[in-house]
């Protein structure tokens, strides 16, 4: 009998969400090991042995440890789902694999907008400056620690926000192009690229930032709506949201939308020149 899959994850982590969506689509059972990121569970020595970067999720399959959410999705699809989510044709497969690779920069952009807006407000209300410094110092990668501190202290004035907007504009432009072929990225069949991106787009929607795509990239909204109607979306994302967290996140994000919209419009106009 195959070993039970074990997933170390967190309720609202976007990378945890996308792997849970994948597990639900593939109808794979797993043992859940939930981490409290606010309490620092990701920095515990036992977890760092599994994931030295102190991030979630981490998948354990027997003696094999798999980290990085896109790699986990590809592994699960290949080893436990007969590669049903990966396109069969070479061109489609290359496009899908490129989306998985791009998730590193896309995730960084989502992380930036989350911690410079809604999450920043909560952290500033709960932690002193010394505690914020201590939190940054716990990151195994010192640059990531400095980024987190910069986002908390400077909010959307942080230079990381401008970088995030550039990556997001490319994301939505490319999604718009691919969705011309059908309701899913690359055509009429739900694939691994759709699974890899849903939690990121959903996070922006929950922050009140759907204005990024509503006018210029109008195919993105229906794509997300189609996802929301699937049971895997509820199982992987909606069912894990703590009570009241959705309202707090939208309120915390929406307060910054007017300024972000101005910057987004300026970026659009600059790219159009």
Structure confidence by residue, pLDDT tens digits, 78-101: 999 999 999 999 999 999 999 999
Res 186: pLDDT: 82
Domain ranges of the chain: 5-80, 90-272
| 193, 218, 264, 272 from 222: Cα distances, Å | 16, 8, 21, 25
Helices (H) and strands (E) in the chain, counts: 13, 4
Structure confidence by residue, pLDDT tens digits, 31-77: 999 999 999 999 999 999 999 999 999 999 999 999 999 999 999 99
Same topology, domains 5-80 and 90-272? Answer is: no
Architecture of the domain whose range is 5-80: 3-Layer(aba) Sandwich (3.40)
Res 28: pLDDT: 97
Res 4: pLDDT: 87
Low-confidence ranges of the chain (pLDDT < 70): 1-3, 268-273
CATH assignment of 90-272? 1.20.1050.10
Q: What phi, psi does 254 have (nearest 5°)?
A: -60, -30
User: Which is nearest to 43 in space by CA: 62, 33, 59, 56?
Assistant: 56
Query: Is 151 in contact with 115 (CB distance < 8 Å)?
Result: yes
Res 3: pLDDT: 52
Query: Is 203 in contact with 14 (CB distance < 8 Å)?
Result: yes
> Contacts by 148-151 with C-beta closer than 8 Å and gap 24+?
148/115, 151/112, 151/115, 151/116, 151/120
Entry pTM: 0.95
């Amino acid at each position: 009998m195959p070993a039970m899959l074990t997933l170390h994850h967190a309720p609202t982590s976007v990378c945890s969400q996308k792997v849970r969506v994948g597990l639900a689509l593939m109808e794979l059972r797993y043992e859940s090991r939930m981490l409290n990121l606010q309490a620092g569970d990701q920095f515990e020595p036992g977890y760092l042995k599994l994931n030295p970067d102190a991030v979630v999720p981490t998948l354990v399959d027997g003696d094999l440890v798999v980290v990085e959410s896109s790699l986990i999705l590809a592994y699960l699809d290949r080893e436990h789902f007969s590669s049903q989510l990966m396109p069969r044709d070479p061109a489609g497969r290359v496009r899908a694999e490129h989306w998985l690779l791009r998730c590193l920069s896309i995730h960084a952009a989502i992380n930036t907008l989350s911690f410079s807006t809604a999450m920043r407000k909560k952290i500033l209300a709960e932690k002193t400056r010394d505690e914020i410094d201590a939190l940054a110092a716990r990151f195994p990668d010192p640059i990531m620690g400095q980024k987190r501190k910069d986002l908390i202290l400077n909010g959307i004035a942080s230079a990381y926000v401008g970088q995030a907007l550039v990556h997001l504009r490319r994301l939505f432009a490319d999604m718009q192009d691919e969705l011309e072929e059908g309701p899913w990225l690359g055509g009429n069949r739900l694939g691994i690229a759709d699974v890899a991106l849903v939690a990121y787009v959903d996070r922006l929607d929950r922050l009140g930032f759907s204005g990024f795509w509503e006018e210029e990239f109008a195919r993105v909204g229906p794509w997300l709506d189609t996802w929301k109607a699937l049971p895997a979306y509820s199982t992987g994302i909606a069912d894990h949201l703590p009570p009241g967290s959705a309202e707090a996140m939208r309120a915390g994000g929406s307060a910054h939308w007017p300024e972000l919209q101005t910057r987004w419009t300026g970026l659009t106009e600059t790219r159009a020149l």
